[in-house]
Structure 1
Amino acid sequence: MNTAICVTPFEDMRLTMPNNKIVIKLGGGLITDKSQYKLVREERIMSVCKVISKLKKNEDSVILVHGAGSFGHLEAKKWHLSTGHNIEIIDEQRLAVKNVRNDMMELNNYVLKYLKEFEIEGISHPPSKWANGLGPQFKGDISKLGDEKKDTVQVTFGDVVDVHNEKEFGILSGDDIMVRVCKEIPGITHCIFLLGDTEGLLTRPPNEEGSELITLWSKEQKITGKHESSQDVTGGIFLKAESASKIAQNVANVWMIDGRKPERITELVQTGNTIGTKVI
């Protein structure tokens, strides 16, 4: 006797729903100590990679972007790389460009190392090799970051890139790369900024009394923050908020959460909510 199998609409939806496609930004202040040259926080990288491995086992897709932290900002600040060509110090600047690019590859290798510990192959895409120009309008083929293969993660980062005008070079922020990835790669379901010293956007700087978490934020709301210009050459929390706002035009789930507690990534993906700031 033939037995009919009844599939409910809900079960059928589960069978046909696409997997999550998640873009994660590892903040430079999360994975390095920005005040000390090339001091990496390996345990934080490892804990995030552990969560990524769980996402991959759930057949979710992950694209990883990381910041520079003390592997890029301090040297870039010293030689004014963000402002481009300066004839008075151009020889030192060109040497610094090479050094920062090498330092960024070194930091990137830490990320690849810990992905590999969880049996994930990180495919690295250094922007100095494929991008030119600054801001989210930079030129470069983003599509390569959308390649999806089992047990692999596409990885890129903020970097010193060539600029095809009188500036010669400049700093391409990982936040600007995030904007382009989330705009041009189809099917992104989540964009998550992992912060290094706070649970999300706050009403005041995290070390000030009375500072409270903003759980829902849009660009119409003013934020008060502190930009450590001595350590950061790209814009800090203000650029992150601006970038997240742009991304929210295309992606439904845009969040800023505490990267020191990466289990909140899993909670967010599984339940749709966590402790942090949702950007709309």
Structure 2
Amino acid sequence: MPAPENRFKAALRAGRTQIGCWAGFADPYATEVLSTANFDWLVIDGEHAPNDLQTIMHQLQVLDGKQSHAVVRLPVGNEWLIKQVLDAGAQTVLVPLVETGEQAAFLARAMRYPPQGIRGAGAALARASRFSAIPDYIATANDQVCLLVQVETARGLGNLDAILATDGIDGVFIGPADLAADMGHPGDAGHPDVQDTIRSALARIAASDKAAGILATDDATAQTYHGWGAQFLAVGIDVMLLARAARTAMELWTDRLGAE
């Protein structure tokens, strides 16, 4: 029996647009609720949300068999963190702040078992192998892992061609907020210079054999990014969706009571 098919990776290779959302509550209950929206992919965020290996694993468990494919974002590009989340059952990993082709190549090797990579072959006790119930897991897992790298600095964009030429990279994700800060416009991803840079980067990625990805937190921007070539597109963050809905409800009643 081989490793399970990575449906998200297959969709990217087929050129299909994948719509996703950020899961930032670090709680399996909230992630399970989010999965009922049937997004194509959900980011279990280990960089800016209070997740650890246990909470990531619990969210992977509730997403088993769901329409929404789990994408685990790590805090840093580290081989042992990659090994841990893959063993916990993740098939797709998003790594922030990738700036060189050499860094991208190292991450690609960290995702894979030898001889293609350096992933430790301890699958016998791993959730990924169904605790040894998938006898061919090690022999077949390399084909089903998916690596997405975030390019979010001027240095990274300067090395974008080298990153795109790296084997083992499935997609390149542009990080608007960090890019804006690095370009001298912190908190202003909508600045014309930042938007021009994003448009150029998405076009370059889309013209390669890699998929282009990005996050937008409003619909107009999401549509713009899709038109610029984004194939895997996150259209919201669960924490922000809840906060907006709650504030809107309270503002509505504050206005009503103030009018009495």
Fold-level similarity (TM above 0.5): no
User: Which structure would you say has the larger RCO, counting Cα contacts within 8 Å and 6 or more residues apart?
Assistant: 1
